[in-house]
Chain A
Amino acid sequence: MTSIAAPAPVRRPRRKRDRDETGVRARRWFIPYLLLAPGGLWLAVFFVFPLFSLGRLSLEDGGLSNYSQVLSDNSTVIIRTFTYAAIATLAAIVIGYPLAYVIATKGGRYKNLLLALVVLPFFVTYLVRTLAWKILLYDGGPVVGFLHNIGVLSESQGILGSPFAVVAALTYNFLPFMVLPIYVSIEKIDWRLLEAAADLYASPARAFRKITLRLSLPGLFAGTLLTFIPAAGDFVNSELLGSDRTVMIGNIIEANFGREFFRPELSALSFMLMAIILIGVAIYARMLGTEEIA
């Protein structure tokens, strides 16, 4: 370590004239904009602008009536889409919250290993993960066989093609997005708060509700969005595991995007998907009171 401790030869600062009491930053106000420019331009041209033109396209010949048309034509599909996404999100909370809690509070030195197991599914591509569900739920496969044996399903019944198959796979595919943010927010909690609560005679249940749950709300919020949004926009799970009975909004866009590309209705449908999600996010944020917890 002596070589590091040895004083370096002192040279005169070369940039003295560039600087004043407020430092370099005040003079070079344009530097952040220079750093932001390439990525910002990319997002402006390939994200913001297309979104505007999609909105404009959705209002062509017919204006807002395109939306009411789309809404009445696809009401079943729209309701089904958000129902599936909501159930998958709830299931992800029920499975993911305890898992994140256990890893964060009781993981000990296996914490990182357990986290690695949670993100392991990301290392197998989305489509292959969904195909694995097809294997699991296939007629004659392990899950159907088990359900036949215990008599939940009759011999002629399968699971593939049913809403259950689609929702189960949606839950699975986005579960890590639920676990990780919840883990992060529980991990950050100052445990002395819980000791204080115990000292002040709060029951463990009450301490959990008032401290752990409250302080993990930001993670729960992020996890809900990261699960609900991709689930609502998905068409892969319904296509690979579902049937005509499980068509979602994404499937309609997927089935038509090549052929009827310039039809305003399709733009209206995708814009509506986005709008409903954004409104839902706003309501949910208000319910959880994110202004307060963010």
Chain B
Amino acid sequence: MNSSASLHKLGRFALWFWAGLGLLFLFTPILVTIVFSFNEPAGKYNYIWNKFSLAAWADPFKYPELSEALIFSLKVAVVVTIIATILGTLMGVAMVKYHFKAKGLVGAILILPLTMPEVVLGFSILTLFVSINWSRGFITIVIAQVMFSVSYVATTVRARIRGFDWRLEEAALDLGASSWRTFTRVTLPLIAPGVVAAALLTFALSLDDFIITYLNSGLDNTFPIQIWNMKRSRIPVQINVFSTALLLLSVLTAVLVVVQGQRRARKMAGMTI
């Protein structure tokens, strides 16, 4: 074995090692969140490991303000996902399927919210709400979250359906299907995977968002805002319990969607022959 080959091997090992460290870096805080849901902290703050306990899992709803905030977050996420998915999908389809004059402008307006710091987006929409004297709460949160989610949905749908064969629609119409039937039996199944992906992304982004939501929330608290408000009084273990439960649910959902998608792909592959 010559020296350049062993140098090559060493390089490969270093690369793998470094990538492994990167994964560890990404994974450790998640692990910490899970592990600390089994902690019994000595004081009010769940920051230092004290001893193992199932107390928080046995009593997850001990702090009603926290569980109420979580339910509120889920409500917001559902409404935002429905509105943003519909609006964003329509825009994404229009951008891929049609040629029209204002395409460049619309594309720029769709990208712009993604290139702006949240604090600017949140602050500017807040100036609007204040100037027309709208009190902040559920509705302003939904409006603000839909505003940035539409861009994500349109971009995701656009990327997923680019290159589709839209003549299939014309073929369906030629074969006598009504427009509605064409839409439900041809268009919708074609774009469905992209739309589902976009909807899941929107749901996750809505639950995750803090800065824009916080600036426009008034007295209504989402889960992250409630944690923010509690940061100087107590950080209970229940935060970690809810986060761990949500993580498990999300992973399960993701696995289900992937499995379903593979089954669908196999079915479609069988049909085309």
A141 to B36, CA, bound (A): 12
Contacts A13-B176, A257-B123; is A46 near B29 (CB within 8 Å)? no
Point out the residues of chain B lying under 8 angstroms from A96, CB to CB: 22
Q: In whole Å, how far is B176's beta carbon from the nearest beta carbon of chain A?
A: 3
Say whether A14 contacts B36, CB under 8 Å: no
Contact B106 A36 (CB under 8 A): yes
B25 part of interface (Cβ distance < 8 Å): yes
User: Does A129 contact B33, Cβ atoms closer than 8 Å?
Assistant: yes
Complex CA distance for A116 and B97, rounded to whole angstroms: 31
Most central of A25, A35, A102, A129 by chain B CB within 10 Å: A35
> How far, in whole Å, are A172 and B24 apart by their CA atoms in the complex?
11
CB atoms of B243 and A13 under 8 A apart:
no
Contact A273 B119 (CB under 8 A): yes
The interface bits of chain B over 234-252 (1 if a CB of A lies within 8 angstroms of the residue's CB, else 0) are: 0100011001001100110
* B8 beta carbon closer than 8 Å to chain A: yes
B59 nearest CB across to chain A (Å): 19
Mark the stretch among A66-74, A146-154, A211-219, A224-232 that contacts chain B: A224-232
CB-CB contacts below 8 Å: B148-203 with A:
150-151, 154, 170, 173-176, 178-179
Decide yes or no whether A51 CB sits under 8 A from chain B: yes
A270 within 8 Å of B (CB atoms): yes
Asked if A172 and B109 make an inter-chain contact with CB atoms under 8 angstroms apart, the answer reads no
Residues of chain B lying within 8 A (CB to CB) of residue A176: 26
Could you say which residues of chain B place their CB within 8 Å of the CB of A49? 128
Query: Residue of B at shortest CB range from A123?
Result: B250
Residues of chain B within 8 A of A175, CB atoms compared: 22, 25-26
| Across-interface contacts of A226 in B (CB, < 8 A) | 114
Residues in B neighbouring A225, C-beta threshold 8 A: 115
In the complex where A32-B98, A39-B88, A230-B117 touch, is A103 in contact with B19 (Cβ < 8 A)?
yes
A249 CA to B231 CA in the complex, in Å?
21
Inter-chain contacts of B32 with A (CB < 8 A) = 132, 135-136
Task: Quote the shortest CB–CB distance from A168 to chain B (angstroms).
Answer: 9
- B147: Cβ under 8 A from any A Cβ: yes
Choose among B21, B32, B99 the residue with the greatest number of A CB atoms under 10 Å from its CB.
B32
The contact string, 1 if C-beta is below 8 Å from chain B, for chain A 32-44, is: 1101101110111
> Among the listed A15, A39, A271, which residue makes an inter-chain contact with B173, where contact means beta carbons less than 8 Å apart?
A15
Interface residues on B, range: 35 or more
- Of the residues A39, A131, A267, contact of B227 by C-beta under 8 Å: A131
Q: CB distance A127 to B26 under 8 Å?
A: no
Residue in A40, A50, A128, A204 whose CB lies within 8 Å of B128: A50
Q: Which of A185-193, A194-202, A233-241, A286-294 contacts B (4 or more CB under 8 A)?
A: A233-241
Contact of A98 among B18, B173, B254, B270 (CB under 8 A): B18
* B78: Cβ under 8 A from any A Cβ: no
Q: Please tell me if the beta carbons of B90 and A38 are within 8 angstroms of each other in the complex.
A: yes
Q: Which residues from chain B contact A114 at a C-beta distance below 8 Å?
A: 23
Q: Chain A residues near B22 (CB, 8 Å)?
A: 95-96, 98-99, 175, 179
B79 contact set on A, CB distance < 8 A: none
Closest to A55 in B: B124
Residue in contact with B98 in the complex, picked from A11, A25, A240, A273, CB distance below 8 Å: A25
A274 to B211, CA, bound (A): 15
Q: Which of the residues A35, A42, A112 comes within 8 Å of B150, measured between beta carbons?
A: A42
Q: Let me know if B120 is at the binding interface, CB within 8 A.
A: yes
Give residues of chain A (1-42) contacting chain B, Cβ–Cβ below 8 Å. Answer: 1, 4, 8, 10-15, 23-25, 29, 31-33, 35-36, 38-40, 42
Say how far A110's CB is from chain B's closest CB, in angstroms.
11
The answer for the CA separation of A226 and B111 in the assembled complex, in Å, is 12
Residues on the B chain within 8 Å of A79, using CB: none
A sample of 21 inter-chain contacts (CB < 8 A) reads A1-B271, A43-B110, A46-B144, A54-B120, A98-B19, A98-B22, A121-B29, A121-B30, A124-B246, A131-B227, A135-B48, A175-B22, A229-B115, A233-B119, A235-B119, A240-B231, A253-B123, A273-B119, A273-B120, A274-B117, A277-B115
Residues in B lying within 8 Å of A, measured CB to CB: 8, 15-16, 18-19, 21-23, 25-30, 32-33, 36, 46-48, 86-88, 90-91, 93-94, 97-100, 102, 106, 109-110, 112-121, 123-128, 130-131, 143-144, 146-147, 150-151, 154, 170, 173-176, 178-179, 204, 207-211, 215, 223-224, 227-228, 231, 235, 239-240, 243, 246-247, 250-251, 254, 258, 270-271, 273
Could you list 5 further interchain pairs (A-B, Cβ under 8 angstroms) beyond the known A47-B112, A99-B18, A233-B118? A1-B273, A43-B150, A95-B21, A135-B47, A274-B120
